[in-house]
Amino acid sequence: MEKKLISYGLAILLLMTACTDKKTENQAIPESNVSISQTAANPSSVQSEETPVKTEEDIQTVAAYQFVPDYGICEKGNAPIYVMDPQSRPVVKEDDAEIELLSAVYQNGTMLAKFRTKDYSAVQIPEEEAQVLLETEKENQKKQEQGEPVQWDDTYITIDSEKGILVRSPFAQRVKEENERRNTSKEKRTKCVYGEGIPEVGYSFTKSTSSSDYDNYLEKGYITTVSEHCMEDKVFEVSSPTGVYEIKMPGFTETLTFEFVPAMQIPSLEELKGYTSHSSAGIYAVGSSEEEGMELQYYTYSKKNERIYPDTNQCILEKDGNVYERIYHNDYWDGSHYSITGIGKGRQGDKLLFQVPEEERTGDFTLKIPRVRIISQELSDVIEIQIPDGEADSGQKIEFADSTITISKVKRMEEPVYYGNINGEDVSKPAVYLTLKSEMKAAERSFLQMSGIQPDSKHSEEASPYISYMIPDLDENGEQYPYSKLIGFYAFYEDGDKTVQVQFRNPSYLLDEEFELPIEMTMGD
């Protein structure tokens, strides 16, 4: 089973990874989404008429919280938000495909839209031809690893490489051709929005991400793709964008038509049914009846602008003493990948699925989440530490809002320590080991972990764009310790250095409080 999965969320240990041009399985595909009419290759382009409109200095703001489906709770004092009328779900169909507008959001020059596309046109490639294509792909992969130029074949889609299942999609090829060809002056441009307050040529989405579920092809005979598109700095020149708007997407003749309505405004979060908070962390969830079961979509909110990550592995859904089993459906798309001003970065719009009989999907449910993980957005000052001849006490402290970190000892390692793999070679460098201990200021929280970085600003006038991330759960012998136990860091230096510079960021904590969320049911898909 193969799916293209979205990779998102903040990892506690931030890793630097190398990128290739090769299309890879099991990852989201970001798209530049620049139409041919926007390029220098099209001198007749009318793109010059589509110019960003600067926001006025005196922006209208909303005194209440605003709730945005799929994106979260917007803090008070931000610009008004408009969402697609929740009673509508526009769909456009062709003979071989259909597209559904799942959501649309506008706020002061930023517009986000989510789409679900079903491709019915995919036809499986004969086994012998598929094997040849897969062998060619392996050869191309080797060439690319050796630095040779490679021309990838994008005329087919890999459904399951292990089983040799490849397909060709006339719809996908049509989309590709429409994205590449020039638009005539009478045509609406694809990946563009049209409507009140927008120039006649429309405003185009400038970036997007997408993820495809290939299991649907194996099970139902079609490919499902969910995509999210974003435009920024394109203010609608209208006091309130509550008219009719259209979106033209590649591969479809007709446009998706919808209306914006103001987002729900909430004077107090306590008035929001389904919202529960402890300390500075809050969670809100809504339920809907779907084909597979009862689906809960949850959002997080922090008064301190922290990232909130609920522990959903042990969550429970119950009603009238009945506990319902969770379905781990390995969703190929979860949450949102772009955001708007005023909404926090924690878990927003992620989904949970429970096995609830259809006849029981009414009434009052309760979702119980046993605890949450909280990641602060704090960043310490750069700390300079003397490199001792052997081992020395330090006592240097790093003060965060909810904890104090003390560097208790600094030990110069006798032998170079493994630094990483650079250009295919394992590299070791001189290092000191920093022994750390944490002390909590907030009694309701316990310390989990933090990130350490070395900005490498000593050897150049400007800090290096490459930041070395330090792992906090290794002892001085390189032995791994369990997550949530702060042990220490290796800090690397160059021969001749007298000091090392380190910086600490994103301390994370465990809030061991159970959240009980009353669930309000909404309309399903």
pLDDT in tens, 303-318: 888 999 999 999 999 9
Whether pLDDT at 2 is above 50: no
Please state, in angstroms and rounded to a whole number, the distance separating the CA atoms of residues 492 and 470: 9
Lowest-pLDDT range of 40-44, 288-292, 438-442: 40-44
> What's the fold here for domain 266-370+512-521?
Immunoglobulin-like (2.60.40)
Weakest mean pLDDT among 44-58, 69-83, 286-300: 44-58
Beta strands in 22-109 (DSSP E): 29-31, 65-68, 72-74, 82-84, 91-93, 97-107
CB 319 within 8 A of CB 302: no
Residues 6+ apart with CB under 8 A from 168: 122, 123, 125, 155, 156, 157
pLDDT for res 307: 93
CB atoms within 10 A of CB 244: 11
383 DSSP β-pair partners: 502
Is-contact 91 249, C-beta < 8 A? no
Q: What tokens were used for 167?
A: 């397909």
Q: Residue 128: is its pLDDT beyond 50?
A: yes
By C-alpha distance, which of 305, 446, 431 is closest to 379? 305
Residue 451 has pLDDT above 70, yes or no: yes
Instruction: Report the pLDDT value the prediction gives residue 335, as an integer from 0 to 100.
Output: 66
Nearest alpha carbon to residue 347 among 284, 408, 295, 294: 284
Mean residue pLDDT across the chain: 82
Per-residue pLDDT of 98-107, as tens digits, reads 999 999 999 9
Q: How many CA atoms lie within 13 A of 42 on its CB side?
A: 17
pLDDT, greater one: 79 or 459: 79
Query: Do residues 64 and 75 make contact, with C-beta atoms less than 8 angstroms apart?
Result: no
Q: Confidence band (pLDDT; 50, 70, 90) for 282? A: very high
DSSP-assigned beta bridge partners for residue 298:
285, 350
Residue 364 token pair? 């009052």
- The token pair at 440 is 């909590």
- Note the residue count of the chain: 525
Residue 331 CA to residue 290 CA, distance in Å, equals 14
Give the β-pairing of 192-195 and 82-84. Answer: unpaired
- Please give the full DSSP string across 28-44, using - where no structure is assigned: -EEE----GGGSTT-TT
The mean per-residue pLDDT over the stretch 314-329 comes to 90
- Which residues, listed in sequence order, are joined to residue 209 by a DSSP beta bridge? 30, 228
Convert 387-426 to b/e letters by CB count within 10 Å (16 or more is b): beeeeeebeeebebebbebebebbbeeeeebeeeeeeeee
pLDDT at residue 83 in the model: 97
Neighbouring C-alpha atoms within 13 Å toward the C-beta of 395: 1
Contact 43, 224 (CB under 8 A): no
pLDDT for residue 476 is more than 70: no
pTM over 0.85: no
Predicted pLDDT at 57: 46
